[in-house]
C-alpha cells in the first residue's frame, strides 16, 4: 500500500508476521513504526518491565496503561495531552494492545475506564491533518484487531 499526498506517504511491508510502516512524520523526520506479532512481549520504557495492559500511542510507542496514565497525571496538565516519553510527540490516542478478555478483572476495568477517559478528552475534534498523522499507527492496529477476539467491538468503538 502506498499513498501519496503533498507531504505524507506510507509504505507497509509485511514480512514474517511483522508489519513495518515507514512514514514521513509531521516533524519531517523519517520514522519507522513497527507493529509486532500479537503474542509479542512489549517492554514499557517508563517502568522497564513487561508492559501490563499495553497501550499503543499514536506515535507508535507501547507503554503500560498504568504507566502512561500516571505519567500524564503527574507530568502535565490534565486538560492537555501528555507528550510521549520517548519521542515527545503529543499523544492524542491510546489504543489497547492484546488486553485480556476477562471482564471480572478489576485492574482491566480500571485501565479501560482510564483509557476511555483519556481518548474522550483528546481524540475528539482535531484538524483533519492530525487524523492523517495517526494513519500509520491505526492501519496496522485495525488489521491486527480484525483477527482478535474483540475485533468487532474495537471496530465499532473507532467508528
- The full set of domain ranges for the chain reads 44-158
- Alpha-carbon distance of 135 to 110, in angstroms, equals 27
pTM greater than 0.85: no
pLDDT in tens, 76-93: 677 888 999 899 988 988
**Which ranges constitute the DSSP H helices of 8-149?**
65-75, 106-122, 128-146
pLDDT in tens, 3-52: 333 334 444 444 444 444 444 444 433 444 444 455 567 899 999 999 88
Distances (CA, A) of 98 to 108, 128, 131: 12, 28, 23
- Kindly tell me if the per-residue pLDDT of 131 is higher than 90: no
User: Minimal CA–CA distance to 65: which of 76, 75, 54?
Assistant: 54
Instruction: Assess whether pLDDT exceeds 70 at residue 113.
Output: yes
Burial bucket for residue 48 (CB in 10 Å: 0-12, 13-18, 19+): exposed
CB 31 within 8 A of CB 144: no
As given in the structure block, the three cell numbers for residue 15 are: 514480512
- Residue 29's pLDDT is 39
pLDDT digits (tens, 9 = 90+) for 96-112: 888 777 767 888 889 88
Quote the DSSP letter at residue 85.
T
Q: Is 33 within 8 Å of 60 (Cβ atoms)? A: yes
> Is pLDDT of 70 > 50?
yes
Fold of 44-158: Herpes Virus-1 (3.30.40)
Q: What does the pLDDT read at residue 54? A: 92
Name the band, by pLDDT with cuts 50, 70 and 90, for residue 137.
Answer: confident
First-residue to last-residue Cα distance in the chain: 22
pLDDT, position 9:
41
Cβ pair 68, 94 in contact under 8 A: yes
Amino acid at each position: 500500500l502506498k499513498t501519496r499526498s503533498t507531504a505524507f506517504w506510507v509504505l507497509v511491508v509485511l514480512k514474517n508476521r511483522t508489519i513495518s510502516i515507514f512514514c514521513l512524520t509531521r516533524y519531517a523526520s523519517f520514522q519507522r513504526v513497527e507493529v509486532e506479532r500479537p503474542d509479542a512481549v512489549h517492554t514499557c520504557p517508563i517502568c522497564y518491565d513487561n508492559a501490563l495492559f499495553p497501550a499503543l500511542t499514536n506515535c507508535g510507542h507501547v507503554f503500560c496503561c498504568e504507566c502512561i496514565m500516571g505519567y500524564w497525571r503527574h507530568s502535565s496538565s490534565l486538560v492537555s495531552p501528555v507528550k510521549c516519553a520517548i519521542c515527545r510527540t503529543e499523544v492524542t490516542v491510546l489504543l489497547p494492545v492484546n488486553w485480556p478478555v476477562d471482564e471480572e478483572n478489576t485492574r482491566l476495568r480500571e485501565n479501560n475506564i482510564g483509557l476511555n477517559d483519556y481518548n474522550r478528552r483528546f481524540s475528539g475534534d482535531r484538524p483533519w491533518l492530525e487524523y492523517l498523522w495517526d494513519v500509520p499507527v491505526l492501519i496496522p492496529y485495525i488489521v491486527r484487531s480484525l483477527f482478535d477476539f474483540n475485533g468487532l467491538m474495537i471496530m465499532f468503538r473507532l467508528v
